[in-house]
Amino acid sequence: MIRLKMSYLGIIVLLSILAVAAVADDVIYKDPKQPIAARLKDLLGRMTVEEKIGQMVQIERIAATPDIMKHYYIGSLLSGGGSVPNPHATVTDWINMVNEFQNGSLSSRLGIPMIYGIDAVHGHNNVINATIFPHNIGLGATRDPDLVKRIGSATASEVRATGIPYAFAPCIAVCRDPRWGRCYESYGEDTKLVQSMTEIILGLQGEIPKGSRLGVPYVAGKDKVAACAKHFVADGGTTHGIDENNTVVSEQDMLKIHMPPYYDSIIKGVSTVMVSYSSLNGKRMHANGDLITGYLKDKLGFKGFVISDWEGIDRITSPPHSNYTYSVQASILAGIDMVMVPNNYIEFINDLTLLVKSKIIPMERIDDAVSRILRVKFTMGLFENPLADYSMVNEVGSQAHREIAREAVRKSLVLLKNGKQVSDPILPLPKMGSKILVAGSHADNLGYQCGGWTIGWQGFSGNGNTTGTTILNGIKSAVDPSTEITYMENPNVEAIKSNNFSYAIVVVGEHPYTEMFGDSSNLTIPDPGPSVITNVCGQLKCVVVIISGRPVVIEPYMSVIDGLVAAWLPGTEGQGVADVLFGDHEFTGKLSRTWFRTVDQLPMNIGDQNYNPLFPFGYGLTTKSAIERSLSAGIALRPFVLGILVTLFMSLSLSHWYIA
């Protein structure tokens, strides 16, 4: 009798377990075959207020643990600039770290996966040995949207290889003043140019399907990432180019100059939009409901989620964080869906919970924010594939990606001067010479040529932090083996005179900086750059290569310079600079920013009434290969003769082919 009762009880328990399992398997939000709208509705209906508010929080990895992810239902994690698993983290270290946090999220009651974000703004720039592409100002000079799209695709592959599905890129600011420390994050001063470069979104996220609804986010698969258009809006127009400052602009000019790239981004299915630290006509953007909700969401129909910048809501008050409850209220009511806290998550959660329970922030606003966040997570397949694997580890720093970066370097170079007379060009340089002088602090410094947002937030100096080719090493690889290269970082006149140099290449420019640390009222080349130019170019024929995130003061030195090249911040593939200097490829780049004569002219942009630059927007001299020069001169050759000459040209040095 007892045995029968126990058997009956066992059957009841077994049936209960099977019933629960059947219900779990039948949960709509877990079923990838269901429409996203149905999955969203189902999941939202199951969530508590605490779970919803947790989804609106993004915290820094340093402040997180798997238990925190589980117990606070945290919706997102990020790595800020230089925030890494360990100082020498491998791709596997990144994957293991992300998966450890993700397992914490998946162990929560509803198992909602978190989304990990990172500033991959010119390649996967936090990661050792990743491919570092030219910064955006250089990409703008290429005038090549297809190239930028391929860069987006390569970047997405490297980011996903480390287990991360979300990149805080692209920056689609229209930089109207080079004194701004973030100007190099902009593709240029011209709205149409910036609009054309939003093609990178299709590289990062994948091609948007035909018939996709306008404004709905889209991510193509496991080798793509959610993108982030930033910083909404008019961050490139602040007064005097001061970072996080106030942009004073009419509504007409704001809509004409700064807003159009967001139209294009939304059409291309961008998943997220990040709000700017700056103010617009005195109102902090993080509290600007008219533009975040009224324009971006309602008028433009953006259906992804809006994210704050790092402690961006704190800056609503002055001083920052002085009335945090108000900042939480103002930002959420304005339409921000996810808040980059990034450390004080308990304070944010408590304040937002109180505001919701007090009905100061309506539940409808919370549901809207969470729906947008979950829509992106559903769209990118995070519920089906929340954990990273090791199948893509070889994508990071791959040769294929480095070749794309090298191509980008070549196409980004802008030739500003080629000879003191048009009839006597200096470029391309001969590969064969008895001795060539290479000078300047930036010729053999990988950190300097990569700029800010590389390995660390403010970048680095030297050659030890990641893998790449310096400009000096690129030059050594390009010249004839018989040619002697002498590198002097800061040569004096006596040292220059005492050597029989054929010519000199001087590589100088700005030191790395990021955000407000790059704001500059004078835009001068740091010492000893100017004296290196005058010392070397005063004694030898010289080409000056400027490494900078924007135009800098160069007019005082123009008379002694034979050739002048704007190389921007080219990244890890310095060989691309040598490719063009020595004529293996042509100069084709065009200025993406007006090059001023003096800083007193600033701000000065194409179309301004008193436009009198040293070099105008769109300026850039071109060169041709030796073969093209011969053909354009009208040399008629039989096909077999032409073939022989082409072979000879490819095998011999281009030493004395000077091309206008």
Contacts of residues 557-563 at CB distance under 8 Å and 24 or more positions apart, as own/partner, are: 557/530, 557/533, 558/417, 558/614, 560/533, 560/534, 561/417, 561/533, 561/537, 562/417, 562/419, 562/420, 562/426, 562/537, 563/415, 563/417, 563/418, 563/419, 563/425, 563/426, 563/427
**CA–CA distance, 507 with 255 (Å, rounded to integer):** 40
Out of 199, 235, 309, 311, which one is annotated catalytic?
309
Residue 515 known to be catalytic: yes
For residue 22, the SS3 value is helix
How many other C-beta atoms can be found within 10 angstroms of the C-beta atom of residue 185? 29
Q: Show the CA angle centred on residue 370, arms to residues 368 and 374, nearest 5°.
A: 120
- Residues 515, 519, 562, 579: which is the catalytic one? 515
Helical residues (DSSP H) of 172-211, grouped into ranges = 191-196, 200-205
Please tell me whether residue 407 adopts helix, strand or coil conformation: helix
Query: SS in 3 state form for 308-362?
Result: CCCCCHHHHCCCCCCCHHHHHHHHHHHCCCEEECCCCHHHHHHHHHHHHHCCCCC
Contacts of 352 (CB under 8 A, 6+ apart): 53, 56, 328, 332, 361
CA distance readout (Å), 391 to 158, 477, 512, 566: 12, 34, 34, 39
Q: Angle at Cα 192 formed by Cα 191 and Cα 194, nearest 5°? A: 65
In three-state secondary structure terms, 418 is strand
Single-letter code of the amino acid located at 303: K
Q: Which residues of 588-606 are buried (b: 16+ CB within 10 A; e: fewer)?
A: bbbbbbbbbbebeebbbbb
Q: Token match 């998946």: residue? A: 106
**And the tokens for 55?**
């989804």
What's the gap between Cα 403 and its chain centre?
18
What is the rounded CA–CA span in Å between residue 175 and residue 243?
Answer: 11
The tokens for 255 are 């809509």
Residue 437's φ and ψ, nearest 5 degrees, are: -95, 130
Structure tokens at 396: 């990071």
Q: Residue 230 is inside which H or E element, if any? A: strand 228-232
Token readout for 557 is: 């030195």
Burial code of 147-157, b = ≥16 C-beta within 10 A, e = fewer? bbbbbbbbbbb
Joined together, the tokens standing for residue 133 give 């592409």
Element (H, E) at 7: helix 2-25
Q: How far apart, in whole angstroms, are the C-alpha atoms of residue 160 and residue 171? A: 20
238 and 177 in contact (C-beta within 8 Å)? yes
DSSP 8-state assignment for residue 426: -
How far is CA 640 from each of CA 43, 54, 612, rounded to the nearest angstrom? Answer: 71, 72, 51
546: helix, coil or strand? strand
Both tokens of 380, joined, read 């990118």
Active centre residues (catalytic): 309, 515
